[in-house]
Amino acid sequence: MRQRLSQVLIPYRGQRGSLVPVLQKVQEALGYLPEEAISEIAYFLGVSESEVYGVASFYAQFRFERQGDHTIKVCQGTACHVRGGRRILEGVERDLDIQPGGTTEDYKFSLERVACFGCCALAPVMVVDRTVYGRMTPPKAKKILAEYLQEGASSG
């Protein structure tokens, strides 16, 4: 782990003030922040592990568990809420049998609820990885999920 992260961490050695960008860089490299990574960051920046974890857990962006191949984010912003965003989320929860913050057992999908993408004019919105799907309905969301599932079945 130290070897894997040293390239990312060396430029920040001792820079306590860079904790947030360092966490972002490490997460970008590893996909999430495993315990060992927290220790490494603490070591390089010269702060305690509890402080690193305290800051990381304060911000919604950071994950502490391995994520699925695809991340599905269902927007629960105001515009999406008044246009039925909750029903989209509930449908995805049922189809994947996971709760927001969870990952399917086969590490295929992670599900997140987010507060707003700023695509409010297209509400309700669902985002898979970086693709935005607008004007969702529960049947449309179901179809999109099925396409991603299909892709997994045919390639693997």
Partner 1 sequence: MASRTVDKESPFAWSGVRTVFVCKGTGCVSGGSEEIYQALKREVESSEVDGIKVDFTGCHGFCQRGPLIDIEPDGFFYTEVKVEDIPEIVHSHLVNGYPVERLFYHDPLTGKAIPYYRDITFYAKQQRIVLRNCGHINPEKIEDYLAVGGYRALKKVFLDMTPEQVIEEVKKSGLRGRGGAGFPTGQKWEFCRGAPGKEKYLICNGDEGDPGAFMDRSILEADPHSVIEGMIIAAYAIGATQGYIYCRAEYPLAVERLKIALKQAEERGLLGDNILDSNFDFQIELKEGAGAFVCGEETGLMMSIEGRRGMPRSRPPFPAISGLWGKPTNINNVKSFASVPVIIDHGAGWYASIGTETSKGTAVFALTGKTQNSGLIEVPMGISLGDIIYEIGGGIIEGKRFKAAQTGGPSGGCLPASMLDQPVDYESLTQAGSMMGSGGMVVVDEDTCMVDLARYFLSFTQAESCGKCVPCRVGTRHMLNILERITRGEGQPGDIERLNKLAQLVKNGSLCGLGQTAPNPVLTTIRYFRDEYTAHVDEKRCPALVCTELISYYILPDKCQGCRICLRDCPAGAISGGKRMVHIIDQDKCIKCGSCLDVCPTRFSAVVQVSGEKVAVPSKPIPVTVSKTKKGASAKPSID
Do 81 and 43 meet the contact criterion of CB atoms below 8 Å apart? no
Residue closer to partner 1 (CB basis): 68 or 91? 91
Angle between helices 19-30 and 35-45 (to 10 degrees): 140
Cα–Cα distance for residue pair 85/91, rounded to 1 Å: 10
Residue 54 touches partner 1, criterion: CB under 8 A: yes
Residue closer to partner 1 (CB basis): 132 or 146? 132
**Which amino acid is present at 37?**
A
Residue closer to partner 1 (CB basis): 98 or 123? 123
Binding to partner 1, residues 11-30 (CB under 8 A): 16-21, 23-24
Handedness of CA 37, 42, 48, 50 (dihedral sign): negative
**Interface with partner 1 (CB under 8 A):** 16-21, 23-24, 54-55, 58-62, 76-79, 81-83, 87, 90-91, 94, 114-123, 125, 130-134, 137-139
